[in-house]
Amino acid sequence: MLNPSPAGPVPTTRLARLGGLVARHPRSWVLAWVVVAVSCFAVAVGGVTGETLFERLHSGAPTVDSEASRAQDVIAESRPTLQTLTLQVSGVDLGDPKVVAAGVERTRAVAAVSGVKGVRSPLLAPEGPTDPSVAPLLRSGSTGAGGFVTVVDFDPRLDGNAQKAAESATEKALLAVPEAMGGTGRLGSSNKVITAITGTVERDLLRGEGIALPLTFLVMVFVFGGFVAAGMPIVGAVVAIGGGLASLFGFSHAVELDATVVNIVTLLGLGLSIDYGLLTVSRFREELAHRQHDVPTREEVTRATERTVATAGRTVLFSGLTVAIALAGLLAFEASIMRAIGVAGVSIVLVAMVVAITLVPALCVMGAKRLSRKAVERPSDVGLFSRLAHGVQRRPVLVIAAVIVVLVTLALPTLSMKLTSSGTELLPKGADQRVFFEDLARDYPALTAPEVTVVAASSDRNAVTAWADGFRASPGVESVTVQPLGATHQRVDLRVAGGPTSDRAQDLVTAVRDRTAPFETLTTGQAAGQIDFLDSMSARAPYAVGLVVLGTFVLLFLMTGSVVVPVKALLLNLISLGAALGVVVWIFQEGHLEGLLGFSSVGAVESMVPFLVLAFGFGLSMDYEVFLLSRIVEFHRHGATNDRSVSLGLQRTGRIITSAALLIVIVFAGFVAGDILIIKQMGVALVAAVA
């Protein structure tokens, strides 16, 4: 039996020396990590600054420095964006003078609230609800039969606490309006949408971890045959999560973190920590199997720890660096949210790596006697996975062809992939704020943002109007309005049937930008912003892919000493990612499995998902290849032939890789059970990539 590790001397690498240090002072390492973990969780939940991580999160469509953003800057300079609060009232009779009088009295009380800059309401119009100027605020557009809206603008000079106080007081005053009129009212605002999304993200995080941690623990009990060994990777994962949340809290002071970043990055940290912990504990138990005594001596435990950190620790480092390189590819993009995810992801990978080579071995040392009772027998060179390797080696071309056919078939739906940047659609169907804004768009379309907005650098309104009238006959255009924007610009708003994510809106943006004008124009709006974002991402994607591929190739070359092996691994990995995206398109864009997964299809994939899958999926898929290749290289360096090294490497790691993949699938599946659409899509994509 070829067994490279236990027979020879203990490696003299730095990792081996680190293992010896951990073995001699395990309690000190565990205590240090307990202090770190408690401190990290305290920071994340507001125990240090009084502000939680989730209170610092933001939400919105991803943006880049582009024509659309420059147009928004011009608009903001001319008309500073005000925080607003909108009340939808239904079930009232605006034809009854007494009802209207009661509403007027309460609405005037709203205008008197400290911090309120202005109130737009049909009740306060000179002629009341019949005033033509307030028709957009009436549900029917003319009579207000059944309902109306009131929009409150807040003073832009309010700071955070004053803004919250003003909003709270205004909410109470607004809800008194429908109550006095005998109707019902609902409140909505951009701040409420952000609160709803961050609250859902927080609940999804707790639910995902609540599902994943117990299930992974049960699986590891089965894998290890005991509770002590099974608990060690879980402890490491919990510590890594704390470190990750604390790092995100720190990053939130440097950049605006989108709410979805927390779950995506935590998802990665939880999965990697469990995988690395599984690998470390498995190798430690394998090393303990070579002890000479029934109860391992201190020297045998130290020797096993040194070998574990020198071998499994090296694998963890290469694997972690591979994932970190993949995430570093996100830094090549212009969008700040992608860079934030990249930096935060790299940080949590580093935490998971350090935990796996220090805390988990320390726990192994402290539980060595318990682990030795269940320690594995000396590993066999023959088994299910070695037979699988022999079968593949006999027909390599056939196996490769079959695998490629399956992966390419799964990838075919990506040819029809459509991308979108959802707003309230990120929330589950039926969520209060999603329903509020869907109803607002249906009943009061004039209050919603136009699909396309053009900023024209001209003080001649007639010239701009003549130019804008050329788009009235464009497909889907419902209205074209021109209004002054400061002294030197005009604003052109174009409303398009189908909404900002429709093909008509996208085509109109292209048409507007292609049409010449006797003045400078900048096109913005949700449709234009999405086009600019995707153009930026597509332009930078080759650099990101190049960085990831080159970095991974160099790393695998350093690990294996081969040029061919890294190339094969990279090609297979890229095909696998295509298959994962194909599954996402089939499910979320085409609307399959809506009932099972609990979502409503928007007919597209979230715009960030393909690029995040490129980074996260690539790193995680390479993770398992590193597990396998590191063991193959280990056997090859001890004299085994190529075929023999592959057979032994797969036999020794097959069970670990299969278990690790199952565990990470459970982790991702726990997050698929959440409510935020982009998290569901990422969870499904990563399950497909790993599986």
* CATH number of the domain within which 551 lies: 1.20.1640.10
d(CA 50, CA 44): 10
Cβ neighbours of residue 577 closer than 8 Å, sequence gap 6 or more: 613, 614, 617, 618, 621, 689
Question: For position 303, what pLDDT does the model report?
Answer: 93
Find the mean pLDDT for residues 341-370: 91
pLDDT of 142 = 52
Report the pLDDT value the prediction gives residue 141, as an integer from 0 to 100.
Answer: 54
The region of weakest confidence among 65-74, 508-517, 620-629 is: 620-629
Whichever domain contains 183, its CATH number is 3.30.70.260
- Asked if the model's pLDDT at residue 9 lies above 70, the reply is no
pLDDT of residue 373: 63
More confident residue, 1 or 497: 497
Are residues 228 and 370 located together in one domain of the fold?
yes
Query: Stretch 549-558: mean pLDDT, rounded?
Result: 88
**Can you tell me the distance from the alpha carbon of 10 to that of 306, in angstroms, rounded to the nearest whole number?**
7
Answer whether residue 71 is part of any domain: no
pLDDT > 90 fraction of the chain, expressed in percent and rounded: 45
Instruction: Judge if 510 and 552 occupy the same domain.
Output: no
Q: Are residues 441 and 417 located together in one domain of the fold?
A: no
Report whether pLDDT(674) > 90. no
Of the residues 497, 515, 530, which one is the last residue of a structural domain?
Answer: 530
401 and 437 in a single domain? The answer is no
Least confident of 31-35, 352-356, 600-604: 600-604
10 Å Cβ neighbour count for 38? 13
Say yes or no: 298 and 397 in one domain.
yes
β-strand 419-420 against 605-606: which pairing, if any?
parallel
Instruction: Name 586's Cβ contacts closer than 8 Å, sequence gap at least 6.
Output: 413, 592
Task: List phi, psi (to 5°) of 84.
Answer: -130, 160
Could you tell me if 518 and 554 lie in one domain?
A: no
d(CA 687, CA 666): 8
Residue-wise pLDDT for 418-473, tens only, equals 998 887 888 888 899 999 999 998 899 888 889 999 999 999 999 999 999 999 99
Decide if 65 is inside a domain: no
Kindly report the average pLDDT of the chain as a whole number: 87
Q: What SS3 state is found at 583?
A: helix
Q: Is the pLDDT of residue 85 over 60?
A: yes
Q: Give the total number of structural domains in the chain.
A: 3
For position 539, what pLDDT does the model report?
93
As separate numbers, helices (DSSP H) first and strands (DSSP E) second, the chain gives 24, 10
235 found inside a domain: yes
Residue 618, pLDDT score: 85
Mean pLDDT for 177-196 is 93
Predicted confidence at residue 202, as pLDDT, reads: 85
Instruction: Assess if residue 73 is contained within a domain.
Output: no
pLDDT above 50 (res 1): no
* Residue 235: closest CA among 382, 355, 334: 355
To which residue do tokens 């307030």 refer?
Answer: 134
172/598: higher pLDDT: 172
299-315 tens-digit pLDDT = 999 999 999 999 999 98
Highest mean pLDDT among 144-148, 231-235, 289-293, 370-374 belongs to 231-235
Q: Residue 325: its pLDDT value, please?
A: 92
State residue 524's pLDDT score: 94
The closest alpha carbon to 623, from 590, 584, 664, belongs to 664
pLDDT tens per residue, range 591-629: 999 988 988 898 999 999 999 988 888 888 887 778 788
Q: What is the pLDDT of residues 90-147, one digit of tens each?
A: 999 998 999 999 999 999 999 999 999 999 999 999 988 888 889 899 986 555 557 8
Percent of the chain topping pLDDT 70: 95
Is residue 255 included in any domain, yes or no? yes
* pLDDT tens-place string over residues 259-282: 778 888 887 888 889 889 988 998
Q: Are residues 507 and 540 in the same domain?
A: no
Q: pLDDT value at position 500?
A: 84
The CATH number linked to 443 is: 3.30.70
pTM: 0.83
Residue 7 has pLDDT above 50, yes or no: no
Looking at residues 214-243, what average pLDDT do you find? 87
Q: Are residues 46 and 172 in the same domain?
A: no
At residue 6 the predicted structure's pLDDT band, cuts being 50, 70 and 90, is: very low
**Inter-residue contact 280 to 356 (CB < 8 Å):** yes
- Identity at 359, one-letter amino acid code: L
* pLDDT reported for residue 661: 83
Confirm whether 74 is domain-assigned.
no
CB burial class (10 A; 0-12, 13-18, 19+) of residue 415?
A: exposed
Same-domain check for residues 538 and 526: no
Query: What's the rounded Cα separation, in Å, for the pair 624 and 547?
Result: 20
Residue 374: the pLDDT is 53
**Are 379 and 243 in a shared domain?**
yes
Domain finish residue from 143, 158, 188: 188
In a domain, 67, yes or no: no
The answer to whether position 204 is within a domain reads yes
Considering the domain architecture, whether residues 550 and 680 belong to the same structural domain is answered as yes
- Tell me which residue range forms the domain holding 452: 429-530
Tokens of 259: 């709410």
In 79-128, alpha helices (H): 97-111
Place of tokens 């889907």: 476
The angle, 0 to 180 degrees and rounded to 10, between the axes of the packed helices 26-44 and 14-24 is: 90
| Pair (201, 276) in one structural domain | yes
Q: Which residue, of 161, 188, 215, is where some domain finishes?
A: 188
